[in-house]
Amino acid sequence: MPKLKTKPKRSSKKRFKVTGTGKIMRRKSGTGHNTGKKSNSHMRRLMSEVEVNSATSHKIERTLGLR
């Protein structure tokens, strides 16, 4: 009998954060590489976290084990 994986997906747990009010927050894309070309104001905008879109939040909740 093989070992079972843990319920919440580990990759989702690392990528998303749940706030105290229950909102799911994510990081913005575009900060991985080629950051030298982007202006400082652009990079400051990319550093902030943003709420996950409501159309996909139910899928993410399921992978995090919230529903």
Q: Write the pLDDT tens digit of every residue in 40-58.
A: 999 999 999 999 999 999 9
Domain CATH code at residue 43? 4.10.410.60
With respect to residue 58, please indicate whether it lies within any of the assigned structural domains. Answer: yes
With respect to residue 4, please indicate whether it lies within any of the assigned structural domains. Answer: no
With respect to residue 39, please indicate whether it lies within any of the assigned structural domains. Answer: yes
Give the total number of structural domains in the chain.
Answer: 1
Q: For residue 52, give its domain range.
A: 10-64
With respect to residue 14, please indicate whether it lies within any of the assigned structural domains. Answer: yes
Long-range contacts of 57-66 (CB under 8 A, 24+ apart): 57/24, 60/12, 60/16, 60/24, 61/24, 63/8, 63/9, 63/12, 64/8, 64/9, 64/12, 64/13, 64/16, 64/18, 64/24, 65/7, 65/8, 66/18
Task: Enter the pTM of the model.
Answer: 0.78
With respect to residue 1, please indicate whether it lies within any of the assigned structural domains. Answer: no
Q: Write the pLDDT tens digit of every residue in 2-47.
A: 877 666 688 899 999 999 999 999 999 999 999 999 999 999 999 9
With respect to residue 27, please indicate whether it lies within any of the assigned structural domains. Answer: yes
